């Protein structure tokens, strides 16, 4: 070792003890990977699995409610047109709707019998009216147009008159009518259906269930009525 001015030359100074490792690191030798303890990895996996299971359970619990809300929304959209007609909830005789329609058999002016239960598969508008009823005759023309509007569909309109005889009814329809007019001069059918004042109408679905009860007259020749009837046909 040479000396300059009695001091060791820096060039000849011994290398630090960690010099080889430092040199190796500088040369780019790969570092030893750090591995998490097994217990930590198992815990992390268990937590992830528990979270996934929780999400599945929450989804399963929420799915029926989501389906129910979707069905309710669809049902609301489908019944909106019928609700726009302002139906009543029911009456003392038939109770709260929906309710099974009381069956009946009445004759038309040719003597042919019509039984309500034989019309299953059709949406039926049962209208109780009379020629002497001023609000009844107001809605008759719109009902006649409704029959034409719904032609070719599973729809029937039964205009049940409570007049005293066919002569009065025939005179009223002196030019004919597309309505299916039936006569119940004893008023037994409207009484069983809870009708005391006229006109009153009932919308019966394809299975024979009263879905809507309409008190007083309506304009039946409208797009709203058509939409209501078609929704009951689906």
Higher per-residue confidence, 179 vs 32: 179
| Residue 36 pLDDT exceeds 80 | no
Q: Are residues 73 and 108 in the same domain?
A: no
What pLDDT does 47 receive?
78
What pLDDT does 114 receive?
98
H helices of 84-194, in order, are: 134-149, 166-172, 188-192
Higher per-residue confidence, 187 vs 19: 187
Report DSSP state, residue 29.
P
Are the beta carbons of 107 and 182 closer than 8 angstroms?
yes
Closest by CA position to 155, among listed 129, 106, 119: 119
SS3 180: strand
Strands 123-129 and 155-161: what pairing?
parallel
What pLDDT does 223 receive?
96
Q: Give the model confidence (pLDDT) of 102-160 as tens digits.
A: 999 999 999 999 999 999 999 999 999 999 999 999 999 999 999 999 999 999 999 99
Q: Give the model confidence (pLDDT) of 211-232 as tens digits.
A: 999 999 999 999 999 999 999 9
Q: Are residues 58 and 165 in the same domain?
A: no
Q: Are residues 118 and 153 in the same domain?
A: yes
Closest by CA position to 216, among listed 101, 132, 133, 135: 135
Euclidean distance between the first and final Cα of the chain, in Å?
Answer: 108
| Structural domain boundaries, residue 174 | 87-233
Please give the share of the chain, as a percent, with pLDDT higher than 90: 65
Q: What is the mean pLDDT of residues 86-105?
A: 97
The band of 75, judged by pLDDT with boundaries at 50, 70 and 90, is low
Q: Are residues 138 and 154 in the same domain?
A: yes
Is 9 within the bounds of a domain?
no
Q: How many domains are there within the chain?
A: 2
What pLDDT does 24 receive?
42
Closest by CA position to 95, among listed 193, 214, 215: 193
106: domain CATH number is 3.40.30.10
Q: Are residues 125 and 92 in the same domain?
A: yes
Is 3 within the bounds of a domain?
no
Are the beta carbons of 206 and 234 closer than 8 angstroms?
no
Closest by CA position to 86, among listed 225, 199, 227, 234: 225
Q: What are the backbone angles phi and psi of residue 48, rounded to the nearest 5°?
A: -60, -40
Mean residue pLDDT across the chain: 84
Q: Are residues 74 and 96 in the same domain?
A: no
* Region for residue 54 given its phi and psi (left: phi exceeds 0; alpha: psi -120 to 50; beta: otherwise): alpha
| Residue 40 pLDDT exceeds 50 | yes
What pLDDT does 155 receive?
98
What pLDDT does 42 receive?
74
Is 197 within the bounds of a domain?
yes
Q: Are residues 157 and 212 in the same domain?
A: yes
What pLDDT does 77 receive?
65
What pLDDT does 3 receive?
43
CA-to-CA distance for 209 and 224, rounded, in angstroms? 21
The DSSP element (H or E) to which 20 belongs, if any, is: helix 19-26
- State both tokens at 217: 């007259």
Is 75 within the bounds of a domain?
yes
Are the beta carbons of 163 and 197 closer than 8 angstroms?
no
What pLDDT does 12 receive?
47
């Amino acid at each position: 070792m040479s000396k300059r001015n009695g001091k060791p030359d820096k060039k000849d100074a011994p290398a630090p003890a960690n010099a080889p490792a430092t040199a190796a690191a500088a040369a780019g030798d790969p570092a030893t990977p750090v591995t998490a303890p097994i217990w930590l990895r198992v815990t992390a996996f268990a937590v992830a699995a528990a979270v996934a299971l929780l999400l599945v359970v929450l989804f399963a619990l929420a799915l029926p409610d989501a389906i129910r809300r979707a069905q309710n929304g669809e049902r609301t959209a489908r019944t909106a047109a019928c609700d726009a007609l302002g139906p009543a909830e029911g009456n003392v005789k038939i109770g709260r709707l929906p309710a099974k329609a009381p069956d009946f058999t009445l004759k038309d002016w040719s003597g042919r019998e019509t039984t309500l239960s034989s019309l299953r598969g059709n949406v039926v508008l049962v209208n109780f009216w009379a020629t002497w009823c001023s609000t009844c005759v107001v809605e008759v023309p719109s009902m006649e147009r409704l029959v034409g509007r719904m032609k070719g569909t599973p729809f029937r309109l039964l205009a049940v008159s409570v007049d005293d005889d066919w002569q009065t009814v025939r005179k009223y329809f002196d030019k004919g009518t597309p309505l299916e007019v039936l006569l119940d001069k004893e008023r037994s059918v409207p009484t069983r259906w809870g009708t005391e004042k006229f006109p009153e109408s009932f919308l019966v679905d394809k299975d024979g269930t009263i879905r809507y009860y309409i008190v007083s007259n309506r304009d039946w020749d409208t797009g709203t009525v058509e939409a209501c009837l078609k929704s009951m046909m689906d």
